[in-house]
């Protein structure tokens, strides 16, 4: 089972319960146990977790009376800031809307991305926004590629920081408002769905009645639209699913195979790198390289297959990963002609 240790403690005992629930739900093999020691208000989170993992966790504790927390309502906003493209785009959009944006980064929450905090620091400098680094330690392991409650652990830290420092209780994430659990075919993004936030909001509202997590981006199209002309921020962001230790190797392979100069911190082969390239090439923001463009589309096809999606056509691949009409693709004609094979795409000349 995974344990969560915070350097800066949570501001309310109900947040400690969320941390404890994260730890308990990290193990799959005991998934039918009834846990009587949890506050019953956590059941909403457990229900969503069950739906996602097809488990049958139950909690049966009695609702406790937690001390309430005073809200701090003002024009300040704390944005959970990974240093990825979405959090950067979100920061720009909140600033444009007139908020004083404070960035919050939880270090070491992604052990595979050891350099994440450095990208966050550089991006914060370019955005000219203050950033606070919080530290957390995990011990043990969990069963999920990405724990569906990971963002709740971060939200606990961000809210505690905001209250402790007297900044605000307005907390935001760079999530997509269009992302719901039921529409999400991929295993690894459960924690980014808005219904996960609804379940978290309901728990925190026990102690802070008007609380809710704010999200201001509709989809990846909005993120890329906000960053398309900011080469500096594209370079400072960490937007790649490939682990740090392998990224340079993959990147140099892409360079030698296609002659492509990628932005920094990109592997060039994961779905995030591929979607980014396709979009920026279609919008004439980076040079169009047909062979690499096709390679990217092929990578997306492989990702969909590996996630168990029954892919019927390249249009289908396009719909799964992109957010603008396929007719705007630089290789629209070829997409219509390409034949899908069992393990690859055959491009018809
Ligand atoms: Zn990548």
- The tens digit of pLDDT for each residue in 264-287 reads 999 999 999 999 999 999 999 999
Using the mean position of ligand 1's atoms as its centre, give its distance from the Cα of residue 292 in Å: 14
Distance 194 CA to ligand 1 centre (A): 25
**Is residue 201 domain-shared with residue 152, that is, in the same domain?**
yes
* Cα 107 to middle of ligand 1, angstroms: 20
Residues 214, 329 within the same domain: no
Task: With respect to residue 223, please indicate whether it lies within any of the assigned structural domains.
Answer: no
Residues 21 and 68 in one domain: yes
Please check whether residue 273 lies inside any domain of the structure: yes
Same domain assignment for residues 177 and 41: yes
Tokens of 108: 């070491």
Q: Which of the listed residues 166, 187, 218 is the one where a domain comes to its end?
A: 218
Distance 33 CA to ligand 1 centre (A): 38
- Separation of CA 274 and ligand 1 centre (Å): 7
CA 295 to ligand 1 center in whole angstroms: 13
Q: What is the pLDDT of residue 147?
A: 85
Mind listing the pLDDT tens digit for each residue in 228-271?
999 999 999 988 888 888 999 999 999 999 999 999 999 999 99
CATH code, domain with 140: 3.40.50.620
Same domain, 188 and 255: no
Using an 8 Å Cβ cutoff, are 239 and 266 in contact? Answer: yes
Q: Are residues 134 and 270 in the same domain?
A: no
Residues 158 and 291 in one domain: no
Angle between helices 314-321 and 290-306 (to 10 degrees): 80
Question: Can you list the alpha helix ranges (DSSP code H) found in the chain?
Answer: 13-24, 43-53, 85-96, 116-127, 150-164, 194-204, 220-227, 231-236, 244-258, 271-282, 290-306, 314-321, 332-337
Domain co-membership, 36 together with 79: yes
CA distance 168 to 17: 22
- For residues 250 and 186, state if they share a domain: no
Dihedral in degrees, nearest 10, Cα atoms 292, 293, 296, 297: -140
Q: At what angle do helices 150-164 and 194-204 cross, to 10 degrees?
A: 50
Structural domain that includes position 212? 1-218
- What is the distance in A from the centroid of ligand 1 to the CA of 245? 12
Question: Ligand 1 centre from 238 Cα, in Å?
Answer: 9
Q: What's the gap in Å between 123 CA and the centre of ligand 1?
A: 18
- 244 C-alpha to ligand 1 centroid (Å): 10
**What tokens appear for 281 in the block?**
């090439």
Report the separation in Å between the CA atom of 47 and the middle of ligand 1, taken as the mean of its atom positions.
33
Residue 308: how many CB atoms within 10 A of its CB?
9
How much distance in Å is there from the Cα of 291 to the middle of ligand 1? 17
Query: What is the per-residue pLDDT for 30?
Result: 60
Assigned domain for 234 exists: no
Report the pLDDT value the prediction gives residue 255, as an integer from 0 to 100.
97
- Domain end point (choices 218, 250, 278): 218
In this prediction the pTM is: 0.91
What is the count of structural domains for the chain? 2
What is the pLDDT at residue 29?
Answer: 60
- Does residue 269 share a domain with residue 170? no
Rounded to the nearest angstrom, the distance between the alpha carbon of 241 and the centre of ligand 1 is: 5
User: For position 130, what pLDDT does the model report?
Assistant: 98
Compute the distance from residue 282 Cα to the ligand 1 centre, in Å: 19
Q: Do 143 and 20 share a structural domain?
A: yes
The DSSP result for 29-70, as a single string, is: TTTT-EETTS-GGGHHHHHHHHHHHT---EE-PPPP-PPP--
Please indicate, yes or no, if residue 7 is contained in any of the structural domains.
yes
State in Å: Cα 348 to ligand 1 middle: 27
Does residue 56 lie within any of the structural domains? yes
33 torsion bin: left (phi>0), alpha (psi -120 to 50), beta (else): beta
252 and 197 belong to one structural domain = no
Which residue, 185, 218, 251, sits at the end of a domain?
Answer: 218
Is residue 96 assigned to a domain? Answer: yes
Residue 135 lies in a domain: yes
Distance from the alpha carbon of residue 276 to the mean position of ligand 1, in angstroms: 10
Report if residue 186 sits inside a domain. Answer: yes
Give the tokens for residue 328. 């705007």
Which segments of the chain have a pLDDT < 50? Answer: none
Tell me what pLDDT residue 113 has. 74
């Amino acid at each position: 089972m995974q344990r969560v240790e915070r350097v800066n403690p949570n501001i309310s005992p109900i947040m400690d319960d969320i941390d404890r629930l994260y730890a308990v739900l990290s193990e799959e093999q005991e998934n039918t146990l009834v846990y009587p020691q949890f506050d019953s208000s956590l059941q909403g989170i457990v229900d969503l977790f069950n739906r996602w993992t097809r488990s049958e966790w139950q909690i049966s504790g009695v609702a406790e009376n937690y001390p309430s927390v005073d809200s701090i309502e003002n024009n300040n906003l704390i944005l959970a800031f990974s240093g990825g493209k979405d959090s950067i785009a979100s920061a720009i959009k909140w600033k444009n809307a007139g908020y004083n944006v404070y960035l919050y980064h939880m270090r070491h929450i992604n052990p595979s991305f050891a350099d994440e905090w450095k990208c966050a620091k550089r991006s914060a400098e370019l955005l000219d926004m203050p950033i606070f680094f919080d530290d957390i330690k995990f011990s043990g392991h969990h069963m999920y590629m990405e724990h569906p409650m990971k963002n709740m652990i971060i939200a606990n830290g961000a809210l505690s920081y905001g209250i402790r420092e007297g900044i605000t209780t307005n907390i935001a994430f760079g999530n997509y408002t269009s992302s719901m659990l039921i529409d999400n075919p991929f295993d690894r993004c459960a924690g980014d769905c808005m219904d996960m936030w609804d379940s978290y909001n309901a728990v925190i509202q026990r102690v802070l009645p008007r609380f809710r997590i704010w999200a201001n981006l509709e989809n990846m199209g909005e993120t890329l639209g906000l960053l398309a002309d900011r080469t500096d921020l594209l370079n400072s962001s960490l937007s790649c699913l490939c682990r740090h230790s392998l990224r340079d190797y993959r990147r140099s392979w892409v360079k030698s195979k296609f002659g492509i100069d990628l932005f920094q911190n990109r592997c060039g082969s994961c779905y995030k790198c591929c979607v980014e390239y396709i979009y920026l090439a279609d919008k004439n923001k980076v040079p169009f390289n047909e062979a690499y463009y096709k390679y990217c589309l092929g990578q997306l096809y492989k990702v969909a297959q590996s996630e168990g999606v029954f892919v019927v056509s390249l249009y289908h691949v396009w719909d799964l990963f992109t957010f603008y009409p396929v007719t705007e693709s630089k290789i629209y004609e070829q997409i219509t002609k390409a034949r899908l094979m069992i393990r690859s795409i055959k491009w018809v000349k």
